[in-house]
Amino acid sequence: MKSDTDNTAGRPGEAGLGRRRFLATLAIAAGTLLAAAAGLPVIGYILEPAFRKMQHQWVPIGSVDRFTDGDTVLVAFENPSARSWAGVTGKTGAWVRREGDANFTAFVLNCSHLGCPVRWEPNSKLFICPCHGSVYYADGSVAAGPAPLPLQRFRVRVRGGQVELETRSLPIT
């Protein structure tokens, strides 16, 4: 017979409380593990570029004979820093001009404003950006528009009759 002071009726016993606490701890631990498993790859993806070494690589773009003295031509090549899954976005290019026997100048395609690809207009001898109207002189300096900086240049060398550009990893913007 229960006494009037027995107030344990309807309450879980010590064993029940222990089991609930254990299961709650287990659920929190499992949730933490799942969150870490799902979150670590994302964190790694975000932080990885900051720790990646800038790669400099010489890329052949064709024989010297391919280029006509005085002409500025568009040359396409694979970006060596592109990821294997980049597909067509791993391709890039440069505007390359031959001046003399082995003197080459190569400009990056991208406008210094917001990165749209510029095009060379041989008649006016200007680079034109179609996005917001920036214009660059033939030496890449800014002629007009919102472009804050001249067109960047690649370093160029000639090795064994091949013209090569020094490419770099794309900076994080």
Our finding on whether 116 is near ligand FES (CB under 6 A) is: yes
Q: Rounded CA gap, 6 and 9, in Å?
A: 7
Our finding on whether 117 is near ligand FES (CB under 6 A) is: no
Q: Rounded CA gap, 80 and 84, in Å?
A: 10
Question: Hey, what's the torsion of the CAs at 27, 31, 34, 39, to 10 degrees?
Answer: -170
Closer CB to ligand FES, residue 102 or residue 114?
114
Our finding on whether 114 is near ligand FES (CB under 6 A) is: yes
Our finding on whether 94 is near ligand FES (CB under 6 A) is: no
DSSP 8-state assignment for residue 11: S
Q: Rounded CA gap, 21 and 58, in Å?
A: 62
Q: How many residues bind ligand FES (CB under 6 A)?
A: 13
Q: Please list every residue from 9 through 28 that binds ligand FES, using CB under 6 A.
A: none
Interface residues with ligand FES (CB under 6 A) are 111, 113-116, 129, 131-134, 145-147
